[in-house]
Chains A and B, each alone.
Chain A
Amino acid sequence: MPSSINSALASWLAAGGSSIGEISITPHGSGWQLRHHADSSTDPASLKPLDSPEALRELAKWDAAGNYRPLHSAPNLPSGWIASLPDLASLRLALDFLYPAALANWLRWLDGTASACSLRDTFNRQSGMYRVTGLIRDSEAESLVTSSCHDGNCLRKVIWNLDGTTPWAGFPPDKTSAPSSAPELGQPIPILCLDLCPILLAAARETVKKRMKSESDAAKAAEAQASPA
């Protein structure tokens, strides 16, 4: 029987855990306070108070410039706020909104009930407009993944690889290293990527379609050259 996510969260907090992604969590009365790492030494009175998981979900929807953030693990969560949450249940909900499935991916990976799905397996099961992603070449995949998923764009650790065996050459080891045990006392919960995201799926489609168009254009040009009107 897998462990309860709330129990695992409580144990991590009791052991001094306080950081996930760009936020820090501190005990506050019988509840918890969350704030952005960038605000760790800012006077709380100068921060915008938030008091619900739903308010944090709305906050996480936009970056500081007002752009939509479809990728919650992008390192551009706005700062300047402090959220007070009354209990563990609301903290769990807030973390699920700020970093969707991060707690679950971490815990299920550790207890062995979740595994990573390779890029090939993900692309090969697609249908409809994304079926074409199965045609991506290994070199295109390497280039796309390492240019899209680096820490400047996404804080998740890339646990899936190309085909179940081939690792990504363009990442530092820490970006793809999977945890084998719960964090040491006080260490952050890593945000694991076990299944590639819709943003990468869409980018892979564009990569393949662009190459196919280029090949088609080249073939047409060669044909026209071989048989001039």
Chain B
Amino acid sequence: MISPKPSSALILVGHGSTLNPDSSQPTHDHADTIRRTGLFSEVHCAFWKEEPSMREVLRMVDSPEVYIVPNFISEGYFTQNVIPREFGLSGRTTDLGHTVAHYTDPVGIHPSMTRLLLKRAAEVAEGIPLTECSLIIVGHGTGLNDNSTKAIKDQVEIIRAMNCGFAEVIDAYMEEPPLIADWATLTSAPNVIVVPFFIADGLHSFQDIPVLLGMESEPTAAASQIEVFRRNPYHLHGRQIYYSSAIGTEPLLAEVMLDQIAAFDTNHKPAA
């Protein structure tokens, strides 16, 4: 836990959506959690596709210092291009005139994400011996950017090295090999735990991945989307699938955000 920062504001930056309210909800929820701790003088959210925008949210800051934490799962176009451009950042620390901004790494690449993945896996398949479980961490994947899969590959390596008992731990993707659609041949244990490595639930976790897994034959209706997580286990190919909601909805993600700020202070903060 970091020490209180009574002269610092915090801005959590999410993607947001003009179509789907579920996209920004976890960012708001984590902001609520951190706001209640009183660690920061002010806590705000900003979004690419919702209000307030990144340009607007800076005007909301009354504090002489602000930490900007991208609530994104990996480094990439948004964290390296869009967010710095919209905030007017020139590096890790930027004097913006009325406040000095510190730009942290995205939440999804912090090593603490491992703790969340293991917690999610244990909750979703409660009571099932780990030795009888394969764990799949599933991401979007794209041939355009290696970073989109790096965060997941890193987590797989960490969890394998921990030897915490899973029959196997693998990464899989929607759009590049190893494909999540091939889960039955990629895994061997009788129980398969699938945790989407996404920042929010949305079309991918509600509809696309369940279809790729074979849990649903077609995208489910909007009103029943959340039900997809309540029908575990799914019996397919003589195995049981335990399907989790997106890792970004895990309440402990707020702690990872604070860990990311602590990491910034240790590694990047200029001497006072």
Contact = CB atoms under 8 A, between A and B. Distances in A.
Given A127-B82, A198-B50, A96 B20 contact: no
Interface in B28-53: 28, 32, 44, 48-53
A101 B60 contact: yes
Nearest to B97: A113
B62 A96 contact: no
A5 B60 contact: yes
Greatest chain B CB density within 10 A among A72, A100, A127 is at A100
A104 B60 contact: yes
Contacts of B44: 96
A215 interface: no
Contacts of B59: 101, 104-105, 107-108, 113-114
A161 B77 CA distance: 29
Contacts of A128: 77, 81-82
B51 A113 contact: no
A61 interface: yes
Nearest to B62: A4
B21 interface: yes
A198 B53 CA distance: 8
Interface string B67-100: 0000000000100011001000000000001100
B131 to A, nearest CB: 42
B56 A68 contact: no
Contacts of B140: none
Contacts of B3: none
B19 interface: yes
Interface size on B, as a range, is 20 to 34
Interface size on A, as a range, is 20 to 34
Contacts of A57: 28
A5 B18 contact: no
Interface in B188-208: none
Contacts of B48: 198
B33 to A, nearest CB: 11
Contacts of B52: 96, 100-101, 104
B57 interface: yes
A229 interface: no
A18 interface: no
Contact of B62 (A5, A71, A199): A5
Nearest to A114: B59
19 contacts: A2-B98, A57-B28, A70-B17, A70-B18, A70-B19, A70-B21, A70-B51, A96-B60, A100-B56, A105-B56, A108-B59, A113-B98, A127-B81, A127-B82, A128-B81, A128-B82, A197-B53, A198-B48, A199-B18
